[in-house]
Structure formats: C-alpha cells, structure tokens
Amino acid sequence: MLMTDIKPGKQAVITDLTKLDKLAHKRLLDLGVYEGETIRLLASFPFGGPYLFEVSGQRIGIRRFDAGRIGVEG
C-alpha cells in the first residue's frame, strides 16, 4: 500500500522510503521520518496538491508525487 491510499484521519506505518529520489529521501530523514514510524494523514489537498501528515508530533507537507512512492502498512 502507498501513502496515497491512506484515508484522511487514518494511521499507517512507513515501510519503504527507497523509491524516493535522493533529495526527498534525505529531507524526510532530516525531519525524523524513518521506516517504522507511525504516520497519520491529516489532509490531501485537491487538484494534485500536497498531502499533510503528522509524524512524531510534527506536521509535514509532502508532494503528491513523492507520497505515491512511500510504502506504508496499515
């Protein structure tokens, strides 16, 4: 399952960040987003806009393209 499959308000565990490009992967790691972390999708904005999710008590926006490359279970 991918992050784009999560419904708003639901939680999932990040399982795969390897499909991201190097820069996006590094930025998420710098923000404390690792495999095994629990995330909660707060909102997905319309018209191809970003996803807003919460992880480790912080809110992070991520492009829809990148969200479609993050593997999750939940």
pLDDT in tens, the chain (74 residues): 999 999 999 999 999 999 999 999 999 999 989 999 999 999 999 998 999 999 989 999 999 999 999 999 98
User: Does residue 28 contact residue 3 with C-beta atoms inside 8 Å?
Assistant: no
**DSSP 8-state secondary structure symbol assigned to residue 15:** E
Query: If you search the block for the tokens 């499909």, which residue do you land on?
Result: 19
pLDDT number for residue 74: 87
**Edge-first strand listing for the sheet containing 38-44:** 58-62, 51-55, 38-44, 11-16, 71-73
3-73: CATH topology: SH3 type barrels. (2.30.30)
What are the sequence ranges of the domains in the chain? 3-73
- Among 22, 19, 33, 17, which Cα is nearest to 72's? 17
Q: What is the pTM of this model?
A: 0.87
pLDDT number for residue 43: 94
Reduce the DSSP state of residue 65 to 3 states and report it: helix
